[in-house]
Amino acid sequence: MFNENEYKQDELSFVEAKETASKNIGQLLEDLKAFEVAIQTENVAEIYRIYQGKLHKELKETSNQNHEIDDLLAKKLHHGFLARFPYMQLIQKVSPTIYYYKIDQYYHQRPTIVMDVSVPKIYIQSTVLNEWRNFDANDQSELLKIENKMNQIDVQNLTWQSEVAELETTLQQLEKQIEQTAQQKTIFNRVKNEEEYQQLLNSKEKLLERIKQIKNKITDKTQQAEMKEQMQAEYFALQLHRALIKKELRLLQKHAQSIDHLEAELMQFIADYLQPKEEGNEYA
Question: How many angstroms from the chain centroid is the CA of residue 222?
Answer: 34
What is the Cα–Cα distance from 195 to 115, expressed in whole angstroms?
80
Burial of 20 (0-12, 13-18, 19+ CB in 10 A): exposed
Q: Which residues contact 105 (CB under 8 A, 6 or more apart)?
A: 89
Contact 129, 259 (CB under 8 A): yes
- Boundaries of every domain in the chain: 4-68, 141-219
Phi, psi of 110 (to 5 degrees): -150, 155
β-sheet bridge partners, residue 102: 89
- Tens of pLDDT along the chain (284 residues) come to 545 555 445 554 655 655 555 555 555 667 667 777 777 777 888 888 877 776 656 666 666 677 888 888 899 999 999 999 999 999 999 999 999 999 998 877 789 999 999 889 999 999 999 999 999 999 999 999 999 988 887 777 778 888 888 888 888 888 888 777 767 665 445 556 677 777 878 888 888 888 888 887 776 677 778 888 899 999 999 999 999 999 999 999 999 999 999 999 999 999 999 887 665 566 65
Please list the alpha-helical segments (H only) found in the chain.
4-40, 44-49, 57-63, 68-84, 126-134, 141-183, 194-219, 221-256, 259-273
What is the Cα–Cα distance from 47 to 66, expressed in whole angstroms?
17
Contact 115, 124 (CB under 8 A): no
Burial of 171 (0-12, 13-18, 19+ CB in 10 A): middle
Of the candidates 221, 208, 210, the residue with the CA atom closest to the CA atom of residue 178: 208
